[in-house]
Amino acid sequence: MKQFEVPSVYRSELISAIKASRKKADKLKKDFSPTKVEAGKVTFYLARHFGFCYGVENAIEIAFRTIEENPGKRIFLLSEMIHNPQVNADLLAKGVQFLQDTYGNQIIPFEDIQSDDIVIVPAFGTTLEVESLLRSKGIAVEKYNTTCPFVEKVWNRSEQIAKKGYTIIVHGKPKHEETRATFSHASEHNATVVVNDMEETQVLAKYITGELPSATFYETFKGRYSENFNVERDLQKIGVVNQTTQLATDTQAIADYLKSVMIDHFNLAADQISERFADTRDTLCYATNDNQSAVVGLLEQEADFALVIGGYNSSNTSHLVELCEHKLPTYFIDSADKILGKDELIHCNWRTKEISSIKDYFPNQSSVRILITSGASCPDALVEQVMVKIASFFDAESFISAAKEEFQAA
């Protein structure tokens, strides 16, 4: 896989050595057991896969190279490059301006954009409407487009099945940049509707079977269906794609459920299923799958609590928190600064995004075991900083340096 040039401040010699060692020993990525790092009285267990994915590193490389190659030019980002506060703050510090917030609300009017400005499309992609608007102003959208290739894969798959007459069901968070972009690209080719979760999917199924009157669909899914969507016509033949950072198991459950609904409702034989339901299993993102599978492996390790590091508005990171908290106390932080000491840390609720102070989170015992993972937009440097911060509670920072040397020699 291509090696990207990202600012060294985001790298960690320790984490890089660990990842290189694990990759060397497990080239086919079949071992999802965690990596053990001992630091005196603290033992860290790191997930097999975590941190920057291909799409994120690609976006960061393009963004910083664009800044370097265009001194004096006005450079804009459509919205956050990725969902990581440090990376976005670094871009702002270099003079980059955001045109929209993460929900698509305008910060700088598009009217202010001039043809000699540079506009970078973030890793989530953007809508066809925004692309068209920028092109009308003379902006070369494709030149500074950092859209993740795995997001584009979803768009391509949507187009393929749409051209065969399938209505597109998008499993995603309706307000998320990627979901809005995928909806735009899919609906260009055929009818499209967004479902947030299994509960909404079950409601949609009742419109497929006729259990709910079609007239109420338009209010229930307001703002989440394509123009001229017709319930009687457009739910006869469907396929499911997803926002790539959703829980893979959730997307698969939704696809399996809708497939069973179509089989039962239309009384389909095994060789007739494709007449009503498209197989779209291949739209799941490899990094999302790997990180989530690694957390499953991580949770097999007995521990006292888990730390998940990443941006609070990061969808893929939130799902890692969701997985961990089913098993043990889990704290969602975006930097080592949120660890105030052994007696307090600042935690984000992944569902509500409420920030709260957690007292006495650190167990009062002779040794402590901590599970650690991070989101796909989290720099490895932040993970090492968290480990060093915790090790410092026991004057065990030297163990981190020793671990780096050990893994580098492996």
Query: Do residues 81 and 6 make contact, with C-beta atoms less than 8 angstroms apart?
Result: no
397 is catalytic: no
Multiple choice CATH, 149-284, 3.40.1010.20, 3.30.70.20, 1.20.58.100, 1.20.120.530: 3.40.1010.20
In this structure, the dihedral spanned by the alpha carbons of residues 162, 165, 170 and 175, taken in order and rounded to 10 degrees, is: 70
Report domain 8-53+287-409's class: alpha beta
Residue 231 amino acid letter: V
Task: Just give the CATH number of 54-144.
Answer: 3.40.50.11270
- Residue 101 tokens read as 């917030």
The 8-class DSSP code of residue 2 comes to P
Place of tokens 């979901």: 179
Where do the structural domains in the chain lie, given as residue ranges? Answer: 8-53+287-409, 54-144, 149-284
pLDDT in tens, the chain (410 residues): 577 889 999 999 999 999 999 999 999 899 999 999 999 999 999 999 999 999 899 999 999 999 999 999 999 999 888 888 899 999 999 999 999 988 889 999 999 999 999 999 999 999 999 999 999 999 999 999 999 999 999 999 999 999 999 999 999 999 999 999 999 999 999 999 999 999 999 999 999 999 999 999 999 999 999 999 999 999 999 999 999 888 888 999 999 999 999 999 999 999 999 999 998 876 767 888 899 999 999 999 999 999 999 999 998 999 999 999 999 999 999 999 999 999 999 999 999 999 999 999 999 998 999 999 999 999 999 999 999 999 999 998 888 888 888 898 87
pTM for this one?
A: 0.88
In CATH terms, are 54-144 and 149-284 the same topology?
Answer: no
* Residue 109 CA: distances (Å) to CA of 54, 106, 175, 203: 31, 6, 20, 38
Q: In angstroms, what CA-CA distances link 319 with 74, 273, 292, 375? A: 36, 31, 8, 9
Catalytic residue among 57, 80, 177, 178: 178
- The answer to whether the beta carbons of residues 76 and 108 sit under 8 Å apart is yes
Residue pair 166/223 in contact by the 8 Å Cβ criterion:
no
Q: How many residues does the chain have?
A: 410
Burial string for 377-406 (b: 16+ CB within 10 Å, else e) reads bbbbbbbbbbbbbbbebeebbebbeebbee
H helix runs in 223-285, sequence order: 231-234, 248-266
Q: Is 261 helix (H, G, I), strand (E, B) or coil?
A: helix
If one counts every other C-beta atom within 10 angstroms of the C-beta of residue 149, the result is 11
Instruction: Centre a 10 Å sphere on the Cβ of residue 109 and count the other Cβ atoms it contains.
Output: 8
Residue 312: how many CB atoms within 10 A of its CB?
Answer: 19
